[in-house]
Chains A and B, each alone.
Chain A
């Protein structure tokens, strides 16, 4: 069946550092891929998505490219801020989602 493997956390960075959170998946066909962000005490919010191979999703300075050849969808941001501290989930979707376990990011001033 489908599965998503996320880079283990927690990840701690200084403000303005470069961020990469790795995500790889196992699935047949061409599922849509998503990154969600969860701020403390809140539900999940969609951060970005890509629906086909080589698509790049981007939002709020975050980017991820759907790589079919490496079955990956790594999340990147060039310069993180304290306000980016949250838990990030990679997800694969057909009509039901398969979520990774989440990566907690803490950004220190």
Chain B
């Protein structure tokens, strides 16, 4: 199993540009999550999904959108990038059968200038 994979690893955006962060898991997990981690801080939940076709907002959803058309994929869309979105983004997945233990991807480091 590859686990949770994320692309790209790094990206620099100009203010107002858009991009999609990709996340794929091959563990057949129902639950998937997007977090952001600002320097020296913990993780903040952006969006989560409990299964294909079902998504919901987390703590900091503004400026982001997600979709979950398949069990495996959970892309995060940034529209009109702003400097406040400079952060490291982590995708994670979990399953009820494993007590919701979360498996994390390696992260995407995004800089908006």
Which residues of A pack against B, CB within 8 Å? 32, 34, 36, 42-46, 49, 51, 89, 91, 93-97, 99-102
A36 to B37 alpha-carbon distance, docked (Å)? 14
Contact B42 A93 (CB under 8 A): no
B22 at the interface (CB under 8 A from A): no
The residues of B that contact A42 with a CB separation of less than 8 Å are 106-107
Contact B42 A100 (CB under 8 A): yes
A93 to B96 alpha-carbon distance, docked (Å)? 11
Q: Give the secondary structure class of A's interface.
A: strand
Q: Among the interface residues B42, B48, B92, B103, which one has the most CB atoms of the partner chain A within 10 A?
A: B42
Contact B102 A101 (CB under 8 A): no
Q: Please judge, given known A-B contacts A97-B102, A100-B42, A101-B41, whether A44 and B90 are in contact too, CB under 8 Å.
A: yes
Partner of A43, one of B50, B96, B100, B106: B106
B33 at the interface (CB under 8 A from A): yes
B94 at the interface (CB under 8 A from A): yes
Task: List B58-97 residues whose CB lies under 8 Å from chain A.
Answer: 58, 90, 92, 94, 96
Contact B101 A46 (CB under 8 A): yes
The residues of A that contact B106 with a CB separation of less than 8 Å are 42-43
Residue of A nearest to B96 (CB): A95
Q: Please judge, given known A-B contacts A95-B31, A95-B50, A96-B33, whether A45 and B45 are in contact too, CB under 8 Å.
A: no
